[in-house]
């Protein structure tokens, strides 16, 4: 029997003295205030046992991790028609890169880069009655936690400075791959990225991807096939131009965000979130990647 609690505590302890922790994302001004020393880990197994350490209960900005949640909400609405508007290939590019989008006529490489997430946001704005509220409720329901919320300050901070996202959305619009007003889609996108969640709340939400689409209350949100597809996209596209490195070092499907969170999972076994706000050069949490590499090494568990 694997002692998850001891393993994550040992990993946490081995990292407490590391000085070089990467850089905090400051291109969204509100994100810059976070303490670089924060480090949390929370793991939940399929039976619902919880193992946690450090700052695992403190909420942080989930940023791009939200792209998996919006995809999960849009996929059952659109079915496989979704893939006419966004592809499923790794981009090999940074999350906010634009040149491929132009080259490929406004069809984003995948739903986990910004351009792809903007198309998903457009789909949700088209299909939901009260888009931001309905999306928030969806996240609250899959996580079984009604306290989850947007951080409006962070959403507005990104609205003021998100010039690349404005560029991507306008480019998509010029190709007809955004149907709503660009401002409405960006407003939705900045809010979804501003969700504040702790490591614990994130493992509760991502439990559905580990558990064939079913949440802890046994309600089904995705079919088994849809769940497999989303996990495949996380594995190949969840870390932008570092997706190869993450598969190589960690060996799990997962998703990172510039708030310093990473969620990763082993289907039918466990789901884990790490949070350390310092990022490496590719925009992924430096210590988070290291911690997850140690986790899969020490437990001998990965999809490979
Ligand atoms: N990689 C990220 O977490 C980026 C999300 C951020 N909101 C952006 O669009 O730039």
Tens digits of residue pLDDT in 289-304? 999 999 999 999 999 9
Phi, psi of 18 (to 5 degrees): -70, 125
Q: How far apart are CA 155 and CA 146, in angstroms?
A: 20
Residue tagged 């990467």 (tokens): 22
* % residues pLDDT > 70 (the chain): 100
Tens digits of residue pLDDT in 244-255? 999 999 999 999
Quick one: pLDDT at residue 292? 98
Quick one: pLDDT at residue 194? 98
CA of 257 to the centre of ligand 1 (A): 7
Q: Tell which one of 28, 64, 91 to mutate to probe ligand 1, the residue whose CB is within 8 A of the most ligand atoms.
A: 64
CA-based nearest residue to 264, from 289, 287, 244? 289
CA of 193 to the centre of ligand 1 (A): 7
CA-based nearest residue to 237, from 90, 78, 69? 90
Q: How far apart are CA 78 and CA 264, in angstroms?
A: 25
**Tokens linked to 202:** 């994130």
CA of 229 to the centre of ligand 1 (A): 22
Quick one: pLDDT at residue 91? 86
Quick one: pLDDT at residue 171? 96
Instruction: Give the distance from CA 40 to its chain's centroid.
Output: 16
Look up the ipTM and state it. 0.94
Q: How many CB atoms lie within 10 A of CB 302?
A: 18
Residue 65, pLDDT > 90, answer yes
The response to whether residue 270 sits with its C-beta less than 6 Å from ligand 1 reads no
Residue 213, pLDDT > 90, answer yes
The response to whether residue 193 sits with its C-beta less than 6 Å from ligand 1 reads yes
Quick one: pLDDT at residue 301? 97
Quick one: pLDDT at residue 104? 87
The response to whether residue 64 sits with its C-beta less than 6 Å from ligand 1 reads yes
The dotted CATH code for 4-299 is: 3.40.710.10
Quick one: pLDDT at residue 85? 98
Tens digits of residue pLDDT in 69-127? 999 999 999 999 999 999 999 988 887 888 888 888 999 999 999 999 999 999 999 99
Higher pLDDT: 94 or 270? It is 270
CA of 226 to the centre of ligand 1 (A): 24
Tens digits of residue pLDDT in 10-59? 999 999 889 899 999 989 999 999 999 999 999 999 999 999 999 999 99
């Amino acid at each position: 029997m694997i002692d998850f609690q001891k393993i994550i505590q040992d990993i946490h302890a081995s990292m407490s003295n590391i000085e070089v922790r990467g850089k905090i994302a400051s291109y969204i001004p509100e994100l810059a205030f976070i303490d670089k020393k924060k480090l949390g880990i929370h793991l939940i197994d399929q039976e619902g046992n919880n193992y946690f350490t450090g700052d695992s209960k403190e909420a942080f900005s989930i940023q791009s991790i939200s792209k998996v949640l919006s995809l999960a909400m849009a996929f059952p609405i659109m079915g496989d028609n979704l893939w006419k508007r966004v592809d499923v290939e790794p981009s090999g590019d940074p999350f906010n890169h634009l040149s491929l989008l132009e080259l490929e006529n406004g069809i984003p490489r995948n739903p986990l880069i910004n351009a792809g997430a903007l198309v998903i946001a457009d789909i949700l704005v088209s299909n939901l009655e009260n888009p931001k509220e309905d999306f928030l409720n969806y996240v609250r329901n899959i996580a079984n936690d009604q306290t989850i919320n947007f951080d409006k300050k962070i959403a507005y901070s990104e609205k003021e400075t998100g010039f690349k996202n404005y560029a991507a959305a306008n480019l998509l619009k010029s190709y007809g791959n955004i149907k709503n007003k660009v401002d409405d889609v960006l407003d939705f996108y900045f809010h979804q990225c501003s969700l504040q969640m702790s490591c614990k709340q994130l493992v509760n939400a991502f439990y559905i991807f580990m558990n064939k689409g079913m949440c802890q209350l046994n309600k089904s949100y995705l079919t088994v096939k849809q769940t497999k597809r989303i996990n495949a996209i996380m594995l190949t596209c969840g870390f932008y131009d570092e997706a190869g490195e993450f598969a190589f070092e960690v060996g799990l499907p997962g998703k990172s965000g510039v708030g310093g969170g990473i969620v990763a999972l082993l289907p039918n076994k466990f789901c884990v979130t790490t949070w350390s706000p310092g990022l490496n050069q590719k925009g992924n949490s430096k210590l988070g990647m290291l911690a997850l590499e140690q986790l899969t090494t020490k437990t001998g568990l990965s999809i490979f």
